[in-house]
């Protein structure tokens, strides 16, 4: 136990001895580095702690390279300082440094043990090293004022009266004209290397000291101010009473201490989601900015909520608070009245159109046919628009000769239909049924006309062609008379009774139907296909062909 303590004390004593040898100046303290350009003045100032200059005790400067000592008293004239090295006050002045001056210097009080060390390095004027090692960096921001200071290292102390400060002058590297060291609003183009030349007057001679300053001009960073991005002030939110409404307040923040929250009528909104009305929030931190959303939640919008104002407040440590105040308004109900009126009007218009069409469909169709002109092509290749098939009406209800002629001429001459007539167009010589079927084949419709004094094929023929009509699905139009209507279908030959169900029916009303503009003719034209206009033209070559063959 005792042995351990003794060993520790011994160790401490050894350490203390080591420290004392270091401090005793056996090895000099780290020298102060002084850099100077060849040909320029340099001033080494002995620090105060080395001792005060009390008359009898004098500062002694020693140059170790040149093995020379300098003292204040030594110098009284320039002749005595051939190397231009002398002591002024506490300073060692080298008027024009050269490589010969390079080396270690020390200052001490007499030949006392306390010394201060300098190491002087002299660079030639061409050496880039000097600029590199002594460049003073200055940073300024565009659009701001900027002042460069001329460095004041190793310059003569102000109290050395023998050396007169002659001021300094600035130059920009690469420019000959002197520059100002002050910019009221610095620009990017102002960046570069500047030289500041201090000049001193000693015994009528000018001695210079130059310093380089590198000015770096930076773009001023845009102001980053926290801001509420939505909603906007005085926004009005349309809400439905009783519904759930969430109003998001979004902000961009630049500090962790900045935040947004909701106020209602100037007091804090609760952040507890068990309330009917509260707010919650999210923060999303990106590299520089933080996006924060504070959501004002109305679980159920009450009528009283509409009367209040709601403020989203942004609190920031770097700027004043900002506010956005919004209000709620009841959403306007859609007008059911106008909706109903709209629907009713549409229905009415549709009904009227429908009724109009149904009532005037014949007129409309005929009008359209008229305006569009006769139909162009007849792709079916048929020769006639209609075949007039007369049959003997059982009763005395059919059309008489005169009416029939009238019907044919109105259809052919007035309306331009091409008709196939039994007694005109059915070629004699063939078997009657075959000839009639030929004619039907060539016609688009068959107009079935009852005739009173029988003129046309008899009922035997009807029976014969009945099957053919059914098979070919020939379009049939039946003309009836008023008297026939009374006796219903009984008046139709048996062969036609079944067919009459498939065809259209037009009623002949005697005298009133003879007018070409009568409803009888309108209806008939409506049921008949539109007359073909090219038919007759095409007939011509056919006829020639017939003749030649
Ligand atoms: C400094 O000036 C004083 C008085 O003007 C003069 O006596 C002294 O010799 C000068 N010292 C040097 C080093 O020139
Ligand atoms: C200056 O002093 C240092 C030690 O502090 C020494 O290493 C160096 O060689 C000396 N230089 C000259 C030129 O005497
Ligand atoms: C101090 O310097 C004086 C002369 O200036 C000399 O006589 C003396 O011996 C020196 N003392 C020491 C310790 O070097
Ligand atoms: C500098 O200031 C001028 C006017 O004062 C302005 O037009 C320009 O935008 C500013 N430039 C920058 C980068 O701030
Ligand atoms: C000192 O600088 C001035 C102005 O820059 C110049 O005219 C003068 O020649 C320089 N003197 C020396 C010794 O370099
Ligand atoms: C919001 O309401 C409070 C309290 O009624 C009122 O003092 C304040 O002026 C209102 N703010 C706005 C912007 O209407
Ligand atoms: C919620 O509000 C209470 C006070 O009402 C407060 O102490 C708490 O920090 C709030 N919570 C958050 C996440 O802001
Ligand atoms: C929220 O409010 C409910 C009811 O007032 C209460 O029980 C609960 O502790 C509250 N929660 C917080 C986090 O304050
Ligand atoms: C806030 O509360 C509402 C309603 O409870 C919910 O829909 C929403 O997701 C919440 N938002 C956050 C960020 O918690």
The residue contributing the CA closest to ligand 2 atom 12 is 103
pTM value is: 0.45
Query: What three-state secondary structure class fits 63?
Result: strand
Report yes or no: 503 and 475 within 8 Å, Cβ to Cβ.
yes
Ligand 6 centroid to Cα of residue 307, in Å, is 11
Report yes or no: 198 and 168 within 8 Å, Cβ to Cβ.
yes
Query: What three-state secondary structure class fits 409?
Result: helix
Report yes or no: 459 and 495 within 8 Å, Cβ to Cβ.
yes
**Orientation of helix 519-527 relative to helix 336-372, angle to 10°:** 90
> Is-cis flag, bond preceding 280, omega within 30?
no
Ligand 1 atom with the smallest distance to the CA of 75 is: 13
Ligand 1 centroid to Cα of residue 89, in Å, is 11
Instruction: Determine which helix (DSSP H) or strand (DSSP E) holds 13, and give its type and residue range.
Output: helix 2-23
Ligand 1 centroid to Cα of residue 203, in Å, is 9
DSSP annotation of 219? P
Domains 2-123 and 227-330 share a fold: yes
- The correct answer on CATH 2.60.40.10 for the domain covering 227-330 is yes
Domain 2-123 belongs to what architecture?
A: Sandwich (2.60)
The residue contributing the CA closest to ligand 1 atom 9 is 76
Ligand in nearest proximity to the CA of 111: 3
For the chain, the distance separating the N- and C-terminal CA atoms, rounded to the nearest angstrom, is 155
Q: Give dist(CA 254, CA 230) in Å, integer.
A: 17
Q: Give dist(CA 203, CA 205) in Å, integer.
A: 5
Q: Give dist(CA 374, CA 537) in Å, integer.
A: 14
The number of beta carbons lying within 10 Å of the beta carbon of residue 170 is: 16
- The correct answer on CATH 3.40.50.10140 for the domain covering 374-548 is yes
Q: Where are the domains of the chain?
A: 2-123, 134-218, 227-330, 337-364, 374-548
Q: Give dist(CA 251, CA 230) in Å, integer.
A: 7
Ligand in nearest proximity to the CA of 65: 2
Q: What class does CATH assign to 134-218?
A: mainly beta
Ligand in nearest proximity to the CA of 222: 4
Query: What three-state secondary structure class fits 288?
Result: coil
Residue pLDDT tens, the chain, 549 long: 566 665 665 556 545 534 443 444 444 578 899 999 999 999 998 887 776 655 445 778 888 887 777 776 544 554 455 568 888 878 888 989 999 899 999 988 776 667 889 999 999 988 888 888 888 999 999 988 999 999 988 888 877 778 889 999 999 988 888 889 999 999 999 999 999 999 999 888 899 999 999 999 998 777 788 999 999 999 999 999 999 999 999 999 998 899 999 999 989 999 999 999 999 999 999 988 899 999 999 999 999 999 999 999 999 988 899 999 999 999 887 677 788 888 999 999 999 999 988 888 888 888 888 777 655 555 677 888 888 888 777 666 778 888 888 888 888 888 888 888 877 877 667 777 788 888 888 888 888 888 877 655 665 677 777 777 778 778 888 888 877 765 555 556 676 777 777 788 888 888 888 888 888 888 888 888 887 765 444 444 444 344 344
- Residues counted in the chain: 549
- Ligand 1 neighbour 76 (Cβ under 6 A): yes
Query: 56-61, long-range: CB within 8 Å, 24+ apart, which pairs?
Result: 57/109, 57/110, 58/109, 58/110, 59/87, 59/90, 59/107, 59/108, 59/109, 60/107, 60/108, 60/109, 60/110, 60/111, 61/87, 61/92, 61/105, 61/106, 61/107
Ligand 4 centroid to Cα of residue 529, in Å, is 85
């Amino acid at each position: 136990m005792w042995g351990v303590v003794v060993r520790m004390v011994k160790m401490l004593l050894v350490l203390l001895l080591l420290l004392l040898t270091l401090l005793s100046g056996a090895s000099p303290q780290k020298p102060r580095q002084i850099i100077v350009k060849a040909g320029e003045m340099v001033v080494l100032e002995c620090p105060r702690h080395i001792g005060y200059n009390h008359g009898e005790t004098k500062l002694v400067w020693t140059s170790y390279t040149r093995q020379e000592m300098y003292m204040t008293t030594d110098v009284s004239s320039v002749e005595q300082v051939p190397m231009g090295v002398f002591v002024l006050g506490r300073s060692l002045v080298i008027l024009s440094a050269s490589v010969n001056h390079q080396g270690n210097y020390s200052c001490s009080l007499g030949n006392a043990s306390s010394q201060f060390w300098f190491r002087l390095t002299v660079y030639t004027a061409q050496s880039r090293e000097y600029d590199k090692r002594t460049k003073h960096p200055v940073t300024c921001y565009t659009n701001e004022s900027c002042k460069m200071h001329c460095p004041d290292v190793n310059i003569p102390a102000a109290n050395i009266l023998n050396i007169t400060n002659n001021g300094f002058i600035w130059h920009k590297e690469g420019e000959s004209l002197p520059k100002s060291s002050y910019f009221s609003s610095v620009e990017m183009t102002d960046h570069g290397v500047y030289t500041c030349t201090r000049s001193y007057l000693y015994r009528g001679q000018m001695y210079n000291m130059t310093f380089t300053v590198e000015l770096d001009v930076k773009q001023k960073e845009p102001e980053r101010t926290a801001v509420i991005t939505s909603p906007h002030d005085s926004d009005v939110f349309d809400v439905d009473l009783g519904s759930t409404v969430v109003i998001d307040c979004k902000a961009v923040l630049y500090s962790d201490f900045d935040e947004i929250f909701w106020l209602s009528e100037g007091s804090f909104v609760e952040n507890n989601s068990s309330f009917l009305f509260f707010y919650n929030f999210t923060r999303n931190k990106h590299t520089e900015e933080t996006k924060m959303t504070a959501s004002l939640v109305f679980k159920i919008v009450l009528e009283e909520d509409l009367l209040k104002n709601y403020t989203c407040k942004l609190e920031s440590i770097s700027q004043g608070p900002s506010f956005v105040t919004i209000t709620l308004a009841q959403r306007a109900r859609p007008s059911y009245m106008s909706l109903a009126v709209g629907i009713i009007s549409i229905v009415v218009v549709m009904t009227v159109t429908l009724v109009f069409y149904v009532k005037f469909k014949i007129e409309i169709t005929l009008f359209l046919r008229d305006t569009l002109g006769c139909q162009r092509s007849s792709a079916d290749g048929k020769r006639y628009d209609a075949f007039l098939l007369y049959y003997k009406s059982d009763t005395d209800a059919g059309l008489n000769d005169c009416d029939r002629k009238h019907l044919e001429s109105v259809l052919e001459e007035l309306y331009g239909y091409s008709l196939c007539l039994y007694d005109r167009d059915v070629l004699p010589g063939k078997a009657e049924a075959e000839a009639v079927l030929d004619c039907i084949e060539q016609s688009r419709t068959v107009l079935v006309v009852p005739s009173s004094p029988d003129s046309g094929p008899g009922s035997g023929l009807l029976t014969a062609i009945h099957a053919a009509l059914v098979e070919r699905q020939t379009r049939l139009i039946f003309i009836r008379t008023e008297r026939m209507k009374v006796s219903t279908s009984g008046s139709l030959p048996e062969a036609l009774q079944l067919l009459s169900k498939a065809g259209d029916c037009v009623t002949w009303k005697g005298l009133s139907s003879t007018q070409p503009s009568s409803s009888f003719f309108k209806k008939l034209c409506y049921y008949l296909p539109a007359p073909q206009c090219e038919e007759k033209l095409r007939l011509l070559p056919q006829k020639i062909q017939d003749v030649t063959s």
